[in-house]
Amino acid sequence: MYWTYLRRELAGRKKQTIIVAAGLAIAIALVIVVNALSAGVRDAQAQALDSVYGVGTDLTVTGAQAQPGDAPPTRFEFGQDGGQTSDDGTTELSQSRLIPDLMRGTLDAGTVDTVSGVDGVAAASGALALTNATFSGELPPPPDSADQGDVVQAPQDGGGGGGFAGGAFDVESFSVLGIDPSQADVGPLSSVSVVDGRALTSEDTGQHVAVLDETYATSADVAVGDTIDVGGTDMKVVGIVASTSSDADTAANVYIPLDVAQELSGMGDVVSTIYVQAASADDIAAVQSALKAALPDATVSSQSELASTVSGSLSSATALITNLGTWLSILVLAVAVVLAVLFTISGVSRRTREFGTLKAIGWSNGRVVGQVAGESVVQGLLGGAAGLIIGLAGIWAINLISPTISSAPAAPQNGPGGAGPGLLGDLGTTTSDIVLSAPVTTWVVVAAVGLAIAGGLIAGAFGGWRAARLSPAEALRSVG
């Protein structure tokens, strides 16, 4: 009897049922998509951090940020034998240099021992981040009346190639990370897997060997056993590595022993980053405070603090989904519930004779409320089912399109007049592209169904309350 009457009433009020269900469906679908995108952005941010941090790394210690404009221009110096001159007098120039991040200070290598001695530190490893820049091109024969020097200064226009003194040149670069081969359990290489060959070991200290990122090795057509020019020195490739996450990149294109990186770059006994592993997750905050006290001129960052410095479209997507998406979902859901309540109350008002008759033949208030609430819950379930289908379709479309977002460490602003660090200063800033996915989680599906039922119950509660207040005599008299 109950279900027959309920089905008949819903079928007889198709317009109201469709409107209420559609409103809830749109709201539920929006909630599902927004939550899936939020989870996808969090995963993307974790991928960006994994490529910088590495598994087991809790804190990083870096040098102080340099002021814009303090970095000197990068110069390539060619002596008398610095190039090959052809018969027509054109000189071919080619030189590779290892260049540090000119906007970030370095730390004395002894700082690693200082960090290791702090209470609560389980392991610490130093690394030197560099960029290998290769300047190559042709210079026309110098005019007889001019005395050409042997110093070539890199242009400051931020481009990767162009004309110079009537000639043509190119600047190619790849990232290099000098690491301590004896500390493989902390730092970027702790989050990679060996695809071919082997990883760096303690026996590689002082050796001209390199390990390459798989993606870079493929693009450069380099394999294990080949050599690669790093800072003007041939380095033997002993291994190829890849990130343990299929969607994340490694921290650098090329890895070499730390002491070799210090020698080839001419930097001396310094590091740019110290990766720190705490003895316990509970000790991270205390270790960070102790490191800041011991190294007041350095920057000590935790993973959460590093996440706040991620810039590019990744941070924009995070802000957009967190702020606009969440509030929009709440607003649309609230509007859908209000709409369901208003339509339910309006329907009860139009059914005054019906409810008056039912009460006159013996229906109790509880049965009337149950009837109205049941109809509203069914409308909510219909809306929830439709919203679930629409939401999953939206997630499928996002995963099919696979939009790409970029992430990069926050860079310092240019100095007065817009003068930045220059062409090769910019080469140290690494931007990675990450494919954004929208994962579906069980709790989102359960929450969507729960919200639909809750919306129906709220509408049914108001409608049932309105129906229960009707007096049989007054209801029949009002339509008599």
Task: Give 432's Cβ-side CA count (13 Å radius).
Answer: 24
In a domain, 425, yes or no: no
Q: What is the mean pLDDT of residues 191-210?
A: 91
Contact in structure between 241 and 199 (CB atoms under 8 Å): yes
pLDDT of residue 208: 95
Contact in structure between 153 and 424 (CB atoms under 8 Å): no
pLDDT of residue 160: 47
- Report CA-CA distances (Å) from 141 to 85, 89, 91, 144, 310: 9, 5, 7, 9, 47
Q: How many domains does the chain have?
A: 2
Distance from C-alpha of 148 to C-alpha of 80, rounded to nearest angstrom: 11
pLDDT of residue 250: 67
* Residue 121 burial (C-beta neighbours within 10 Å; 0-12, 13-18, 19+): buried
DSSP string, 271-336: ESEEEEEESSGGGHHHHHHHHHHH-TTSEEEEHHHHHTTEESHHHHHHHIIIIIIHHHHHHHHHHH
Compare 104 and 289 and report the one with higher pLDDT: 289
**Both 39 and 68 in a single domain?**
no
Chain center to CA of 478 = 64
Compare 418 and 10 and report the one with higher pLDDT: 10
Asked if residue 119 has pLDDT above 80, the reply is yes
pLDDT of residue 428: 40
Distance from C-alpha of 6 to C-alpha of 379, rounded to nearest angstrom: 11
In a domain, 197, yes or no: yes
Q: What is the mean pLDDT of residues 102-108?
A: 79
Helix (H) or strand (E) holding 84: strand 83-85
Task: Give 382's Cβ-side CA count (13 Å radius).
Answer: 19
DSSP string, 311-324: ESHHHHHHHIIIII
Distance from C-alpha of 348 to C-alpha of 372, rounded to nearest angstrom: 8
The set of residues, in sequence order, having a beta carbon less than 8 Å from that of 300 and lying 6+ positions away, is: 59, 60, 61, 288, 291, 292
In a domain, 306, yes or no: no
**Both 153 and 206 in a single domain?**
yes
In a domain, 426, yes or no: no
In a domain, 97, yes or no: yes
**Both 148 and 248 in a single domain?**
yes
Contact in structure between 28 and 448 (CB atoms under 8 Å): yes
pLDDT of residue 420: 38
**Both 292 and 353 in a single domain?**
no
What's the length of the chain?
480
**Both 196 and 265 in a single domain?**
yes
Chosen domain end from 297, 329, 360: 297
Contact in structure between 272 and 60 (CB atoms under 8 Å): no
**Both 143 and 208 in a single domain?**
yes
Q: Tell me, what DSSP letter sits at residue 143?
A: P
Distance from C-alpha of 433 to C-alpha of 63, rounded to nearest angstrom: 26
Distance from C-alpha of 399 to C-alpha of 184, rounded to nearest angstrom: 35
The set of residues, in sequence order, having a beta carbon less than 8 Å from that of 274 and lying 6+ positions away, is: 60, 61, 62, 107, 111, 112, 115, 124, 125, 126, 127
**Both 202 and 146 in a single domain?**
yes
Q: What is the mean pLDDT of residues 430-435?
A: 59
Compare 249 and 400 and report the one with higher pLDDT: 400
Task: Give 403's Cβ-side CA count (13 Å radius).
Answer: 13
**Both 183 and 148 in a single domain?**
yes
Asked if residue 18 has pLDDT above 60, the reply is yes
Compare 432 and 202 and report the one with higher pLDDT: 202
- pLDDT tens-digit profile of 321-368? 666 666 777 777 788 788 778 877 777 777 777 777 777 777 777 777
Contact in structure between 210 and 222 (CB atoms under 8 Å): no
**Both 247 and 374 in a single domain?**
no
Compare 420 and 74 and report the one with higher pLDDT: 74
Chain center to CA of 71 = 29
Q: Give backbone dihedrals phi and psi of 278, rounded to 5 degrees, phi first.
A: -80, 155
pLDDT of residue 449: 78
Percent of the chain surpassing pLDDT 70:
66
Contact in structure between 125 and 186 (CB atoms under 8 Å): yes
Asked if residue 60 has pLDDT above 50, the reply is yes
Chosen domain end from 255, 270, 297: 297
**How high is the mean pLDDT of the chain?**
74
Rg (CA), the chain: 33
- pLDDT tens-digit profile of 211-256? 999 989 999 999 999 999 998 899 999 999 987 655 445 678 999 9
Instruction: Work out the pLDDT band at 113, boundaries 50, 70, 90.
Output: very high
In a domain, 285, yes or no: yes
Residue with tokens 């990679």: 192
Domain limits at 348? Answer: 2-47+315-402+437-478
Distance from C-alpha of 355 to C-alpha of 464, rounded to nearest angstrom: 11
Amino acid letter at 204?
D
Q: Give backbone dihedrals phi and psi of 161, rounded to 5 degrees, phi first.
A: 180, 170
Distance from C-alpha of 100 to C-alpha of 344, rounded to nearest angstrom: 68
pLDDT of residue 5: 65
Instruction: Work out the pLDDT band at 140, boundaries 50, 70, 90.
Output: low
**Both 76 and 25 in a single domain?**
no
Amino acid letter at 341?
V
pLDDT of residue 26: 85
In a domain, 77, yes or no: yes
In a domain, 427, yes or no: no
pLDDT of residue 239: 95
Q: Which of 240-244, 392-396, 436-440, 452-456 is predicted with the least confidence, judged by mean pLDDT?
A: 436-440
Q: Give the count of beta carbons closer than 10 Å to the beta carbon of residue 390.
A: 17
Asked if residue 159 has pLDDT above 50, the reply is no
**Both 68 and 211 in a single domain?**
yes
Chosen domain end from 271, 297, 323: 297
**Both 119 and 242 in a single domain?**
yes
